[in-house]
Amino acid sequence: QVQLVESGGGLVQPGGSLRVSCSASGSIYSIDDMAWYRQAPGKERELVASITSSGRTKFGDSVKGRFTISRDNAEKMVYLEMNSLKTEDTAVYYCTMFVWWSWASRDDFWGQGTQVTVSS
């Protein structure tokens, strides 16, 4: 079984910075795309950023230029560096990974989420 665990969420003031991390553990052969999504109260879950196994990145329009995504393949981790945070960035942030858990089987796995609150 594969488990993803996020960490690093919390309360930050507008204009501040925060980094959230996600680690994968379990039966892992390799990992393809990794991504961060977020869901604010009363809103649909939306893509924040994604990164391929080769390092190609994509960002949601609302976070371009402010957020950075990176990964450590050896440690099976993905990071989201958030700068110039706004109150509208407040949400539960979820990481997801497409994991090959055997040489022939791949599934997407999700973490339990970490709360990020931007408020003065």
DSSP assignment letter at 23: E
**Cα separation of 91 and 102, whole Å?**
33
Tokens 């706004």 map to which residue? 86
Q: Tens of pLDDT along 87-102? A: 999 999 999 999 999 8
Q: What is the DSSP letter of 26?
A: E
In angstroms, the Cα distances linking 10 to 27, 66, 72, 89 are 30, 18, 23, 12
User: Whole-angstrom Cα distance, residue 13 to residue 120?
Assistant: 5
Express each pLDDT in 33-75 by its tens digit: 999 999 999 999 999 999 999 999 999 999 999 999 999 999 9
Q: How confident is the model at residue 1 (pLDDT cuts 50, 70, 90)?
A: confident
* Nearest Cα to Cα of residue 20 among 108, 119, 113, 120: 113
Q: Identify the CA nearest to 36 among candidates 97, 117, 115.
A: 97
In sequence order, what DSSP letters do the residues of 32-94 get, joined into one string?
A: EEEEEEEE-TTS--EEEEEE-TT--EEE-TTTTTTEEEEEETTTTEEEEEE-S--GGG-EEEE
